[in-house]
Structure 1
Amino acid sequence: MKVDIDMGTASGGTPAGLDLEELLATRLLVQGNSGSGKSHLLRRLLEQSAPWVQQCVIDPEGDFVTLADKFGHVVVDAARAESELTRIAGRIRQHRVSVVVNLEGLDVEQQMRAAAAFLGGMFDADRDYWYPVLVVVDEAQLFAPAAAGDVTDDARKLSLGAMTNLMCRGRKRGLAGVIATQRLAKLAKNVAAEASNFLMGRTFLDIDMARAADLLGMDRRQAEMFRDLARGHFVALGPALSRRPLPVTIGPVETSARSTSPKLTPLPEAPVDARDLIFTPGPEETTPIVRRTPPPPPPTPTVDILAQLARSRPAVEAAAEPAAEIDEAEREAGIEQVMREIIDDPDASFRSDAVLYQDFLVRCRIRRVPGSPLSLSAFRRRYAVARAGIGGELAQSDSWQQALSLSESLPDDVQGVFLMVAQAAVAGEPCPSDATLARAYGTQSARRARRLLTYFEERGLLIVRVDFHGKRVAAFPDLGCETAPGDPDGPDAMEQRQAAE
């Protein structure tokens, strides 16, 4: 079905149409300096296409929440746990609800993590829910920066990976990315390069004008025109817009942003006691205490320094008392207790190793666990073993020790999944379901869990077979044991255990 969206007027007064179905397949990039009308353009696109397609707006400033009153969008406050945002995104795709993800009030790193969690949940939705969704990301340079900034590398990688999935791999999953940025030079190139439609607004820097001209197939000498574009005027190009660069004036919108451009207003009449109003603190204010740093002492003359060095050295101080011996049993018990607390946290599986390690260190200090803390690599190993949940005599058996030895040849992020399946084989329990393995790997995607089993099988560590009842069995040739038949489509074991409690 062909649906043309009215974006305004083109040169010559003709309507400027946008083929919505073509846009869903080819994506859109909007560029323009602050005040060029990018948000106005996005609002026009969202309002005109609202009756035809599901929409999701990543809104860092809270400007698009007004769409809820007119068009029924649900506002999702991003001040939630990342795992909760991921689950909400999955339900949004399932029920086909248009939403505005409000990131207002969060700092930049929190915004990046929240956006990454939400986009990851939409990307990992089951194939049955791959309906078309228009995903609009305002200020995309925040979520896909071209260079490292003041945020941590972990947050940047999460956000950039989610934006790359949206623009590079989202089309087959029904996700059509519409990204807007103030500067092309600040946006990661592999994200910008996946867009086939462009709307270029006013820009002043030479590097941005040159990139805009290159993307539109224009001569470098024509790049100067981008400085003369008025607010709300853009140059369009792409299969959903025009086959040749086309000047477009964006039409009016029905809703408005909560924040508007500053307007000149007359100054109030100066009161007679203006100095008293400024310099007299109010009743609720407290007078700050000004602490002045004393001046540094004058430098010691070189002659005095040489004289001090020439003097006899003072007597050696008495040797410090030896440090108290650490009770290794107490230390191990404390570490095991902290590990158990982290594993019992339902959101721990969806956090990165770096975040879990920081949580582990804090908990150890609270519990006053003696001795030096574990290193990050040692923590990953202990966490993977603890998550397998084996104890008693089985933990000392030759089969389990052999399983621990085999797991050392695997990458850190998959050792926990391997040990979970090995524990089921050693204990003779049913093979874990895809949902259980996905949680252990820190994802919501059952397909990734199945790919991990294939990866283990390719490494020759196990053999997966299906019995006559469709149940899955994982056999370990090196261990001489196999799991009991288990339902691969069964529920998550942790959620089932929490529900029973």
Structure 2
Amino acid sequence: MTSIVLGQGRDGSDTCIDLPELLATRLLVQGNSGSGKSHLLRRLLEQTATLVQQIMIDPEGDFVTLAERYGHLVIDVEDQSEASLRAAGERVRAHRASVVLNLEQVEAEMQLRAAGAFLNGMFEAPRAHWYPALVVVDEAQLFAPVASGDTSDEARRLSLGAMTNLMCRGRKRGLAGVIATQRLAKLAKNVAAEASNFLMGRTFLDIDMARAADLLGMERRAAESFRDLARGQFMALGPALSRRPKLLTIGPVETASHNTGPVLVPLEPVVAEDLRDIILEPVHEFSPRPRRETRPPPPDLLAQLDAYGATREAEEPAATADLTEVDATQLWDMVSGVASEDGADYKPLATLYQDFQLRARIQGLSRNILDLGRFQRILATIRAGLDQERAESEDWQKAEAIAATLPEDVQGVFLLLARTALDSETCPDDDALARAYGTHSLGRARRQLAYLEEREVIVLQETPFGRRVAIVGLGWQTAS
């Protein structure tokens, strides 16, 4: 049994928390602002820093100081996209890194989206990376609210779904949720109900006291005792804490938050008249700029090129080239140019096709010289690593025929597997599969392998030395 001292009981004896039991049963902390929730979480994190991986969802930037003493990685989300945060969540589990997700610098909408994406990334990690991890969420009522507030429904659903997964399904994946909230009444019930350990601090509202008493199995008339708790005192109950409600005073901590509370500072005597000119100093109001004349927006670039081409054909009919036969190498080079652009792997297909159409018009070709389906197959073939000569071979035409029977979004993944199997190379890793699928989520890319196996176009084999794939009907196999 691995126990840590959380604080002292009523008689002064040490009160411990059983860490393995906590990882299996989760923890809920409630207390009004100023009751000592952050102090409790900091004590728990400090005492377990060397024993288990820690993930801290920090909406106020209170816990970034853990990095200075315990080496936690601080992730500031203001410069991160949802896709990068989802990928970071998967990698954190793979490398067993203790992390503080700092949400202090972003607004409420982005806080929900960032926390949801990061938690979903952790949840989608492969089974090989299901190491035990303590996931602490401060101000959990923000991320799992009972009702919608000022944020969009989409952001709320994303965050609430991630929190529900953490508390309801996280145990089998090694994720132990520790959630802290100011008010139980504002926290979604399906999230709070999954905790088996409780630490209830000072609270004053009748509805919160009654609900806390119910969770602890106390009589209703004893609920008013929560008003009398001092800062840092909590009633503890749960298999990792105590079999009966027990008063607990949280022990001291070694680190401190950058966000200190208000401190009384004596007022300096100042004559009111001396401040009048400063406080009532005139504000220079600038006159509004004259309204600009509205002009119709210019047509898009492709439309301008089409109009120019039509005018040119009308004026010089003899000089117009016959576009019925176009050099295949020219088309291949244009698609290769689109595929080589920065970030092209993750751009929508429609955006890439529009880029191709623009290149075609610049070279004097029709913008519809290549339909979308054929463009996508050429693009997938180029991404798979084939040149034009090999792409026209009989063997590769068979692979393209199989790809044509699949949904468009997975054709690129299949062609990448087919090319590596044709050349007897090792199976592409998760990053290569994600690029072929056009996603940053490694878990989502891995699921396409299972889908292709269900469609009976590949045979997947997991070996101690890695992954092997065979193409059904063609007899190609990747190397072990």
TM-score w.r.t. the length of structure 2 is 0.70
* Distance in 2 between residues matched to 1:463 and 1:96, nearest whole Å: 33
2:284 to 282, 287, 295: 287
Aligned residues of 2:469 and 2:477 also touching (Cα < 8 A): yes
Aligned residues of 1:390 and 1:423 also touching (Cα < 8 A): no
1:417 to 393, 410, 418: 410
Matches within 5 A, 1:101-500: 101-271=101-271, 272-280=273-281, 287-289=284-286, 327=306, 340=338, 345=343, 348=346, 388=380, 407=407, 415-418=408-411, 420-421=413-414, 433=428, 435=430, 436-439=432-435, 440=437, 442=439, 444-445=441-442, 449=445, 451-458=447-454, 460=455, 462=457, 464=459, 471-475=468-472, 482=474, 484-486=476-478
Q: How far apart are 1:389 and its partner, in Å?
A: 5.3
Partner residue, 2:7: 8
Aligned residues of 1:467 and 1:473 also touching (Cα < 8 A): no
CA spacing shift, 1:169–1:418, aligned 2, 3 Å? farther
Amino acid at match of 1:348: Y
- Per-residue deviation, residues 36-63 of structure 1 (Å, max 9, x unmatched): 1110111111122223223222211111
Q: How far apart are 1:187 and its partner, in Å?
A: 2.0
CA spacing shift, 1:348–1:81, aligned 2, 3 Å? farther
- Per-residue deviation, residues 129-151 of structure 1 (Å, max 9, x unmatched): 43322221111122222333333
* Distance in 1 between residues matched to 2:132 and 2:87, nearest whole Å: 19
Partner residue, 1:317: none
CA spacing shift, 1:85–1:276, aligned 2, 3 Å? same
Give the secondary-structure state (helix, strand or coil) at the position aligned to 1:120: helix
Aligned residues of 1:426 and 1:482 also touching (Cα < 8 A): no
* Distance in 1 between residues matched to 2:28 and 2:374, nearest whole Å: 45
* Distance in 2 between residues matched to 1:35 and 1:110, nearest whole Å: 26
- Per-residue deviation, residues 374-425 of structure 1 (Å, max 9, x unmatched): xxxxxx999987974579998xx89968855753xxxxxxx51256426866
Give the secondary-structure state (helix, strand or coil) at the position aligned to 2:253: coil
1:20 aligns with 2:32: no
Aligned residues: 414
Aligned residues of 1:65 and 1:100 also touching (Cα < 8 A): yes
* C-alpha RMSD of matched pairs (Å): 4.5
Q: How far apart are 1:238 and its partner, in Å?
A: 0.6
Partner residue, 2:364: none
Aligned residues of 1:434 and 1:449 also touching (Cα < 8 A): no
Q: How far apart are 1:194 and its partner, in Å?
A: 1.8
Aligned residues of 2:87 and 2:442 also touching (Cα < 8 A): no
Amino acid at match of 1:139: E
Aligned residues of 2:185 and 2:208 also touching (Cα < 8 A): yes
Aligned residues of 2:55 and 2:136 also touching (Cα < 8 A): yes
Partner residue, 1:295: none
* Distance in 2 between residues matched to 1:242 and 1:390, nearest whole Å: 62
* Distance in 2 between residues matched to 1:176 and 1:269, nearest whole Å: 54
Equivalent pairs: percent with the same residue? Answer: 54
* Distance in 1 between residues matched to 2:343 and 2:161, nearest whole Å: 26
Q: How far apart are 1:325 and its partner, in Å?
A: 11
Partner residue, 2:313: none
Give the secondary-structure state (helix, strand or coil) at the position aligned to 1:247: strand
* Distance in 2 between residues matched to 1:252 and 1:33, nearest whole Å: 20
Partner residue, 1:377: none
Q: How far apart are 1:241 and its partner, in Å?
A: 0.5
Q: How far apart are 1:214 and its partner, in Å?
A: 2.3
Q: How far apart are 1:482 and its partner, in Å?
A: 4.5
Aligned residues of 1:235 and 1:246 also touching (Cα < 8 A): yes
Give the secondary-structure state (helix, strand or coil) at the position aligned to 1:22: helix
Amino acid at match of 2:231: R
Q: How far apart are 1:278 and its partner, in Å?
A: 0.7
- Per-residue deviation, residues 110-139 of structure 1 (Å, max 9, x unmatched): 222322333334334444443322221111
Aligned residues of 1:22 and 1:239 also touching (Cα < 8 A): yes
Give the secondary-structure state (helix, strand or coil) at the position aligned to 1:61: coil
- Per-residue deviation, residues 293-340 of structure 1 (Å, max 9, x unmatched): xxxxxxxxxxxxxxxxxxxxxxxxxxxxxxx9995999xx9xx99x95
Q: How far apart are 1:65 and its partner, in Å?
A: 1.6
- Per-residue deviation, residues 217-269 of structure 1 (Å, max 9, x unmatched): 22333333323322222111110111111121212222221122223332232
Amino acid at match of 2:433: L
The 10-residue stretch of structure 1 (437-446 or 197-206) with the greater mean CA deviation from structure 2 = 437-446
* Distance in 1 between residues matched to 2:134 and 2:29, nearest whole Å: 14
The 10-residue stretch of structure 1 (83-92 or 60-69) with the greater mean CA deviation from structure 2 = 83-92
* Distance in 2 between residues matched to 1:434 and 1:455, nearest whole Å: 17
* Distance in 1 between residues matched to 2:214 and 2:138, nearest whole Å: 23
CA spacing shift, 1:150–1:244, aligned 2, 3 Å? same
* Distance in 2 between residues matched to 1:194 and 1:29, nearest whole Å: 9
Give the secondary-structure state (helix, strand or coil) at the position aligned to 1:64: coil
Aligned residues of 1:421 and 1:474 also touching (Cα < 8 A): no
Give the secondary-structure state (helix, strand or coil) at the position aligned to 1:79: helix
* Distance in 1 between residues matched to 2:50 and 2:175, nearest whole Å: 17
Aligned residues of 1:37 and 1:232 also touching (Cα < 8 A): yes
CA spacing shift, 1:404–1:244, aligned 2, 3 Å? same
Q: How far apart are 1:8 and its partner, in Å?
A: 1.6
Amino acid at match of 1:474: I
* Distance in 2 between residues matched to 1:386 and 1:222, nearest whole Å: 73
* Distance in 2 between residues matched to 1:116 and 1:76, nearest whole Å: 15
Aligned residues of 1:164 and 1:190 also touching (Cα < 8 A): yes
* Distance in 2 between residues matched to 1:41 and 1:467, nearest whole Å: 44
* Distance in 1 between residues matched to 2:132 and 2:265, nearest whole Å: 46
The 10-residue stretch of structure 1 (102-111 or 81-90) with the greater mean CA deviation from structure 2 = 81-90
Aligned residues of 1:438 and 1:444 also touching (Cα < 8 A): yes
Aligned residues of 2:84 and 2:440 also touching (Cα < 8 A): no
